[in-house]
Amino acid sequence: MMSLAADIGGTYSRLAWFGDGLGGPPTKQVFDNAEFDSLEAVIEKGQAELGRGTQPVDQMVLAVPGPVQREPVELTNINWTLHRDRLSARFRVSELTIVNDFQAAALGAVNEPYEHLTVLNPVTPDDGPAVITGAGTGLGMAWLAQRDQKSLPHPTEGGHIDFAPNNADQLDLYRWLAERYGHVSYERILSGDGLVDTYRHVAGGSAQANTPAQIAALAKQSDAHASRAVQLFVAVFGAYAGNLALAFNPSGGLYLCGGLTSHLARWFEPSAFMVAFAAKGRMADVVRRVPVYLVTRRDTGLAGAIRMANRPAPSPWA
């Protein structure tokens, strides 16, 4: 029996194959989505690289961006559509599971070993609720009612909550974004495109970078505009995380993950982050009691998808 667990992002698809004589840990692959016109093409490429292009995929767990209750499933931030019946027929799948990408990210994050975490607020977690949010191509969010993981994490579209500026600089950024997009959500800032827009707003006609990686490289060189854009990103992320702390009281932990988050991890200085996180007026002490972690590995969503594929029977998520 050959199994596939996959974490599909807006930019990259991460695949893990295991079972049926593959042996050892899962065989992992990473593909740039821009090189493919569909998820099926990505999976076929992965099979071909394994040398098993005609073999059925008995079990398939796909973690994809966007709402998964619909049929077909329309992915967010990438122009791909999934039809369950077509997917099952094409790869002769016996057991197909499609979940929101942040359900997998949540499961991966709460099981990360300590060496993959940066502690931003050193409070001891309990078995209460946990919230996982992260910036990459978009901004995702999911939550667990309890850390015991007896149920699948709950997906949300919490990245699209209205952005609330907290000072003059953020208000200027809000107005600049509103002129271009109308509605301004937190994802408009806490995402790859959001970081680029923030940098362009800060730099004006002096902008030298066109991608998040270029902005991070300039910030590492102490470029004033790039550094300011990254500081705005961290401050807005702190305020957004503080809002989630108020909404969910996640005594089991609040986890920040995602490819962009991990790429910018060096700028998440705990004391500066906590200033924005805890700036909640009378409720400041409430959010200060929430443990906060930054997940430094970039494939925590894939780790969660693998855990789903390896879950013991009977499934608590049936």
Please state the domain extents for the chain: 3-101+301-309, 113-296
Question: Do 3-101+301-309 and 113-296 show the same overall fold?
Answer: no
Q: What would the two tokens of residue 276 be? A: 């924005």
CATH topology for 3-101+301-309 is Nucleotidyltransferase; domain 5 (3.30.420)
Residues 6+ apart with CB under 8 A from 219: 226, 227, 229, 230, 267
Q: Higher confidence at residue 109 or residue 10?
A: 109
Confidence (pLDDT) at 23: 66
Reference 217, options 205, 225, 229, 226; nearest CA is 226
Q: Residue 100 above 80 pLDDT?
A: yes
Q: Residue 195 above 90 pLDDT?
A: yes
139 pLDDT tier (thresholds 50, 70, 90): very high
Mean pLDDT of 280-286: 97
Mean pLDDT of 291-299: 95
84 pLDDT tier (thresholds 50, 70, 90): very high
Confidence (pLDDT) at 21: 64
Confidence (pLDDT) at 303: 93
- The alpha carbon of 252 is separated from its chain's Cα centroid by a whole number of angstroms, namely 19
55 pLDDT tier (thresholds 50, 70, 90): confident
Q: Residue 300 above 90 pLDDT?
A: yes
Q: Give the separation between CA 279 and CA 154, rounded to whole angstroms.
A: 27
113-296: what CATH class?
alpha beta
**Taking phi first (over 0 means left), then psi (-120 to 50 degrees means alpha), and beta for anything else, what does residue 38 get?**
beta
Q: Which of 115-119, 264-268, 305-309, 310-314 has the lowest mean pLDDT?
A: 310-314
Q: Residue 317 above 50 pLDDT?
A: no
Confidence (pLDDT) at 35: 96
Q: Residue 162 above 70 pLDDT?
A: yes
